[in-house]
Structure 1
Amino acid sequence: MWSSVIAVAGTLLGGALTGLLQMRRERAARDERRAEALRVALGELVAALGDHRRALWHREDLVLNGAGPEAVDAARAQTRATRSAVTSSLVAVCVLEPALTGPARRAALAAFALRDAPDRTALAARREAAITATDDLVAAAGRVMAP
Protein backbone atom coordinates (compact mmCIF):
# COMPACT_ATOMS: atom_id res chain seq x y z
CA MET A 1 0.00 0.00 0.00
CA TRP A 2 2.73 2.49 0.94
CA SER A 3 4.53 1.79 -2.25
CA SER A 4 1.40 2.74 -4.22
CA VAL A 5 1.01 5.98 -2.25
CA ILE A 6 4.66 6.83 -2.81
CA ALA A 7 4.35 6.05 -6.54
CA VAL A 8 1.25 8.25 -6.92
CA ALA A 9 2.84 11.08 -4.91
CA GLY A 10 6.02 10.82 -6.99
CA THR A 11 4.01 10.95 -10.19
CA LEU A 12 2.05 14.00 -9.01
CA LEU A 13 5.18 15.80 -7.84
CA GLY A 14 6.97 14.97 -11.09
CA GLY A 15 4.05 16.36 -13.10
CA ALA A 16 3.93 19.51 -11.00
CA LEU A 17 7.68 20.01 -11.34
CA THR A 18 7.51 19.50 -15.10
CA GLY A 19 4.67 22.03 -15.35
CA LEU A 20 6.58 24.54 -13.24
CA LEU A 21 9.73 24.18 -15.33
CA GLN A 22 7.73 24.56 -18.54
CA MET A 23 6.11 27.76 -17.23
CA ARG A 24 9.53 29.18 -16.36
CA ARG A 25 10.89 28.35 -19.83
CA GLU A 26 7.87 29.97 -21.48
CA ARG A 27 8.24 33.10 -19.32
CA ALA A 28 11.94 33.33 -20.12
CA ALA A 29 11.23 32.95 -23.85
CA ARG A 30 8.50 35.61 -23.68
CA ASP A 31 10.83 37.98 -21.81
CA GLU A 32 13.54 37.42 -24.43
CA ARG A 33 11.12 38.13 -27.28
CA ARG A 34 10.03 41.33 -25.55
CA ALA A 35 13.63 42.39 -24.94
CA GLU A 36 14.48 41.75 -28.59
CA ALA A 37 11.46 43.75 -29.74
CA LEU A 38 12.59 46.60 -27.48
CA ARG A 39 16.14 46.47 -28.87
CA VAL A 40 14.78 46.66 -32.40
CA ALA A 41 12.38 49.50 -31.55
CA LEU A 42 15.15 51.45 -29.81
CA GLY A 43 17.46 51.00 -32.77
CA GLU A 44 14.75 52.20 -35.12
CA LEU A 45 13.96 55.18 -32.89
CA VAL A 46 17.59 56.29 -32.59
CA ALA A 47 18.06 55.93 -36.36
CA ALA A 48 14.81 57.81 -37.05
CA LEU A 49 15.86 60.60 -34.67
CA GLY A 50 19.15 60.96 -36.52
CA ASP A 51 17.41 60.99 -39.90
CA HIS A 52 14.91 63.57 -38.69
CA ARG A 53 17.63 65.81 -37.26
CA ARG A 54 19.50 65.72 -40.55
CA ALA A 55 16.35 66.39 -42.60
CA LEU A 56 15.31 69.29 -40.37
CA TRP A 57 18.83 70.71 -40.40
CA HIS A 58 18.81 70.64 -44.19
CA ARG A 59 15.36 72.22 -44.41
CA GLU A 60 16.14 74.97 -41.90
CA ASP A 61 19.46 75.64 -43.60
CA LEU A 62 17.60 76.10 -46.88
CA VAL A 63 15.18 78.52 -45.23
CA LEU A 64 17.97 80.49 -43.56
CA ASN A 65 19.83 80.70 -46.90
CA GLY A 66 16.72 82.00 -48.64
CA ALA A 67 16.31 78.98 -50.92
CA GLY A 68 13.42 78.88 -53.33
CA PRO A 69 10.02 77.50 -52.36
CA GLU A 70 10.47 74.35 -54.45
CA ALA A 71 13.60 73.31 -52.58
CA VAL A 72 12.02 74.13 -49.21
CA ASP A 73 8.84 72.21 -50.10
CA ALA A 74 10.89 69.16 -51.11
CA ALA A 75 12.80 69.34 -47.83
CA ARG A 76 9.52 69.77 -45.94
CA ALA A 77 8.16 66.58 -47.53
CA GLN A 78 11.28 64.75 -46.39
CA THR A 79 10.94 66.00 -42.81
CA ARG A 80 7.32 64.84 -42.73
CA ALA A 81 8.42 61.34 -43.66
CA THR A 82 11.21 61.29 -41.09
CA ARG A 83 8.92 62.67 -38.39
CA SER A 84 6.46 59.87 -39.09
CA ALA A 85 9.25 57.33 -38.59
CA VAL A 86 10.15 58.96 -35.27
CA THR A 87 6.55 58.89 -34.10
CA SER A 88 5.94 55.24 -34.90
CA SER A 89 9.20 54.14 -33.27
CA LEU A 90 8.50 56.33 -30.25
CA VAL A 91 5.15 54.65 -29.69
CA ALA A 92 6.73 51.20 -29.92
CA VAL A 93 9.43 52.04 -27.36
CA CYS A 94 6.93 53.59 -24.95
CA VAL A 95 4.62 50.59 -25.16
CA LEU A 96 7.39 48.01 -24.78
CA GLU A 97 9.19 49.80 -21.93
CA PRO A 98 7.18 52.50 -20.13
CA ALA A 99 10.25 53.42 -18.06
CA LEU A 100 11.80 54.85 -21.26
CA THR A 101 8.81 57.06 -22.10
CA GLY A 102 10.34 60.19 -20.55
CA PRO A 103 13.78 59.98 -22.17
CA ALA A 104 12.30 58.88 -25.51
CA ARG A 105 9.81 61.76 -25.58
CA ARG A 106 12.51 64.26 -24.62
CA ALA A 107 14.71 62.99 -27.46
CA ALA A 108 11.85 63.26 -29.96
CA LEU A 109 10.82 66.72 -28.79
CA ALA A 110 14.41 67.93 -28.94
CA ALA A 111 14.67 66.72 -32.53
CA PHE A 112 11.37 68.38 -33.43
CA ALA A 113 12.62 71.63 -31.86
CA LEU A 114 15.02 72.23 -34.75
CA ARG A 115 12.05 73.74 -36.58
CA ASP A 116 11.88 77.47 -37.13
CA ALA A 117 15.35 78.31 -35.80
CA PRO A 118 15.89 82.07 -36.06
CA ASP A 119 19.55 81.74 -37.12
CA ARG A 120 22.40 79.28 -37.60
CA THR A 121 23.65 79.65 -34.03
CA ALA A 122 20.26 78.69 -32.61
CA LEU A 123 19.96 75.86 -35.14
CA ALA A 124 23.35 74.46 -34.10
CA ALA A 125 22.47 74.74 -30.40
CA ARG A 126 19.17 72.95 -30.96
CA ARG A 127 20.94 70.23 -32.92
CA GLU A 128 23.41 69.69 -30.07
CA ALA A 129 20.55 69.56 -27.57
CA ALA A 130 18.81 66.95 -29.73
CA ILE A 131 21.97 64.84 -29.96
CA THR A 132 22.41 65.05 -26.19
CA ALA A 133 18.79 64.03 -25.61
CA THR A 134 19.29 61.02 -27.89
CA ASP A 135 22.46 60.09 -26.02
CA ASP A 136 20.50 60.35 -22.75
CA LEU A 137 17.86 57.99 -24.19
CA VAL A 138 20.53 55.46 -25.13
CA ALA A 139 22.05 55.69 -21.63
CA ALA A 140 18.63 55.25 -20.00
CA ALA A 141 17.93 52.24 -22.22
CA GLY A 142 21.24 50.71 -21.18
CA ARG A 143 20.30 51.08 -17.54
CA VAL A 144 16.80 49.68 -18.03
CA MET A 145 17.96 46.75 -20.12
CA ALA A 146 20.98 45.83 -18.00
CA PRO A 147 20.70 42.35 -16.49
Structure 2
Amino acid sequence: MLPTLITAALAIVATLLGAIVSGRFQERAAERQVRATHGEAIRRDRLEAVTALACAVSDHRTAMWRRGDAVLKQAASEQIETLRGESHITRSAVTRPLLPPPTPTPRRQSSGSPRPAKPRRSPSTSSWTPPPAT
Protein backbone atom coordinates (compact mmCIF):
# COMPACT_ATOMS: atom_id res chain seq x y z
CA MET A 1 0.00 0.00 0.00
CA LEU A 2 2.79 2.43 0.90
CA PRO A 3 4.73 1.94 -2.34
CA THR A 4 1.52 2.63 -4.29
CA LEU A 5 0.96 5.90 -2.41
CA ILE A 6 4.56 6.99 -2.96
CA THR A 7 4.29 6.20 -6.66
CA ALA A 8 1.01 8.13 -6.93
CA ALA A 9 2.44 11.11 -5.01
CA LEU A 10 5.52 11.18 -7.25
CA ALA A 11 3.32 11.04 -10.35
CA ILE A 12 1.24 13.99 -9.10
CA VAL A 13 4.33 16.05 -8.20
CA ALA A 14 5.96 15.25 -11.55
CA THR A 15 2.77 16.25 -13.38
CA LEU A 16 2.58 19.56 -11.50
CA LEU A 17 6.26 20.32 -12.10
CA GLY A 18 5.85 19.48 -15.78
CA ALA A 19 2.89 21.84 -16.04
CA ILE A 20 4.83 24.63 -14.30
CA VAL A 21 7.90 24.19 -16.51
CA SER A 22 5.80 23.97 -19.66
CA GLY A 23 3.85 27.10 -18.68
CA ARG A 24 7.08 29.00 -18.04
CA PHE A 25 8.45 28.00 -21.45
CA GLN A 26 5.23 29.19 -23.12
CA GLU A 27 5.36 32.47 -21.18
CA ARG A 28 8.94 33.13 -22.26
CA ALA A 29 8.09 32.30 -25.88
CA ALA A 30 5.18 34.75 -25.76
CA GLU A 31 7.44 37.47 -24.28
CA ARG A 32 9.99 36.92 -27.05
CA GLN A 33 7.23 37.20 -29.65
CA VAL A 34 5.97 40.46 -28.13
CA ARG A 35 9.51 41.91 -28.06
CA ALA A 36 10.08 40.89 -31.68
CA THR A 37 6.78 42.42 -32.79
CA HIS A 38 7.50 45.61 -30.85
CA GLY A 39 10.99 45.83 -32.38
CA GLU A 40 9.56 45.44 -35.87
CA ALA A 41 6.98 48.15 -35.20
CA ILE A 42 9.66 50.55 -33.96
CA ARG A 43 11.83 49.81 -36.98
CA ARG A 44 8.90 50.38 -39.34
CA ASP A 45 7.99 53.67 -37.63
CA ARG A 46 11.57 54.90 -37.81
CA LEU A 47 11.81 53.99 -41.47
CA GLU A 48 8.55 55.84 -42.21
CA ALA A 49 9.81 58.91 -40.31
CA VAL A 50 13.12 58.97 -42.19
CA THR A 51 11.32 58.49 -45.51
CA ALA A 52 8.90 61.34 -44.74
CA LEU A 53 11.81 63.59 -43.75
CA ALA A 54 13.72 62.75 -46.95
CA CYS A 55 10.63 63.56 -49.03
CA ALA A 56 10.12 66.85 -47.18
CA VAL A 57 13.78 67.82 -47.68
CA SER A 58 13.54 67.00 -51.38
CA ASP A 59 10.38 69.08 -51.75
CA HIS A 60 11.99 72.00 -49.92
CA ARG A 61 15.11 71.79 -52.07
CA THR A 62 12.95 71.86 -55.21
CA ALA A 63 10.97 74.85 -53.92
CA MET A 64 14.16 76.73 -53.06
CA TRP A 65 15.62 75.98 -56.49
CA ARG A 66 12.46 77.28 -58.22
CA ARG A 67 12.52 80.41 -56.06
CA GLY A 68 16.21 81.06 -56.72
CA ASP A 69 15.73 80.45 -60.43
CA ALA A 70 12.85 82.95 -60.53
CA VAL A 71 14.97 85.56 -58.73
CA LEU A 72 17.89 85.03 -61.13
CA LYS A 73 15.59 85.23 -64.16
CA GLN A 74 14.06 88.41 -62.70
CA ALA A 75 10.53 87.04 -62.69
CA ALA A 76 7.55 89.08 -61.60
CA SER A 77 7.44 89.96 -57.91
CA GLU A 78 4.07 88.18 -57.57
CA GLN A 79 5.61 84.92 -58.75
CA ILE A 80 8.60 85.36 -56.41
CA GLU A 81 6.25 85.99 -53.47
CA THR A 82 4.24 82.91 -54.38
CA LEU A 83 7.40 80.82 -54.55
CA ARG A 84 8.60 82.32 -51.26
CA GLY A 85 5.34 81.26 -49.61
CA GLU A 86 5.75 77.78 -51.08
CA SER A 87 9.32 77.55 -49.77
CA HIS A 88 8.12 78.62 -46.31
CA ILE A 89 5.53 75.85 -46.35
CA THR A 90 8.07 73.25 -47.39
CA ARG A 91 10.56 74.52 -44.80
CA SER A 92 7.98 74.16 -42.06
CA ALA A 93 7.40 70.58 -43.23
CA VAL A 94 11.13 69.90 -42.78
CA THR A 95 11.50 71.63 -39.43
CA ARG A 96 8.24 70.38 -37.94
CA PRO A 97 9.03 67.94 -35.16
CA LEU A 98 7.81 64.45 -35.96
CA LEU A 99 7.74 63.41 -32.33
CA PRO A 100 6.69 65.44 -29.30
CA PRO A 101 9.59 66.55 -27.10
CA PRO A 102 10.18 64.37 -24.06
CA THR A 103 8.54 65.65 -20.92
CA PRO A 104 10.98 66.28 -18.08
CA THR A 105 10.47 64.14 -15.03
CA PRO A 106 10.23 66.06 -11.77
CA ARG A 107 13.14 65.55 -9.45
CA ARG A 108 12.33 64.00 -6.13
CA GLN A 109 13.73 65.66 -3.09
CA SER A 110 14.98 63.52 -0.28
CA SER A 111 13.13 63.62 2.98
CA GLY A 112 14.36 66.15 5.49
CA SER A 113 16.13 69.38 4.73
CA PRO A 114 17.49 70.13 1.26
CA ARG A 115 21.19 69.77 0.61
CA PRO A 116 23.30 72.79 1.51
CA ALA A 117 24.76 74.69 -1.43
CA LYS A 118 28.38 73.96 -2.24
CA PRO A 119 30.86 76.82 -2.08
CA ARG A 120 31.67 78.21 -5.51
CA ARG A 121 34.97 79.39 -6.89
CA SER A 122 35.09 83.07 -7.73
CA PRO A 123 35.88 83.58 -11.44
CA SER A 124 38.28 86.46 -10.77
CA THR A 125 40.32 84.86 -8.02
CA SER A 126 41.46 81.43 -7.06
CA SER A 127 40.04 81.65 -3.54
CA TRP A 128 36.83 80.02 -2.52
CA THR A 129 33.78 82.13 -1.75
CA PRO A 130 30.76 80.98 0.21
CA PRO A 131 27.48 80.51 -1.66
CA PRO A 132 25.03 83.40 -1.66
CA ALA A 133 22.61 83.50 1.26
CA THR A 134 19.09 82.46 0.41
Structure 1 distance, partners of 2:12, 2:72, is 89
Written as runs of structure 1 = structure 2, the 5 A alignment for 1:1-147 is 1-88=9-96, 91-92=97-98
Structure 2 unaligned residues grouped into runs of 5+? 1-8, 102-134
Structure 2 distance, partners of 1:17, 1:42, is 38
Structure 2 distance, partners of 1:79, 1:13, is 63
Deviation at 1:50, TM superposition (A): 0.9
Q: Percent identity?
A: 30
Name the counterpart of 1:127. none
* Runs of at least 4 residues off by over 3 Å: none
Secondary structure at the aligned position of 1:60 is classed as helix
Residues 23-78 of structure 1 deviation map (CA, whole Å, 9 limit, x = unaligned): 11011111111111112111111111111101001111222232222111100111
Select the structure of larger CA radius of gyration: 2
Structure 1 distance, partners of 2:77, 2:19, is 79
Secondary structure at the aligned position of 1:35 is classed as helix
TM-score normalised according to structure 2 size:
0.62
The structure whose RCO (Cα within 8 Å, separation 6+) is larger is: 1
Q: What is the letter of the counterpart of residue 14 of structure 1?
A: S
Name the counterpart of 1:145. none
RMSD of aligned C-alpha atoms?
2.0
Deviation at 1:83, TM superposition (A): 1.3
Structure 1 unaligned residues grouped into runs of 5+? 96-147
Structure 2 distance, partners of 1:72, 1:84, is 18
Structure 1 or 2: more helix by fraction: 1
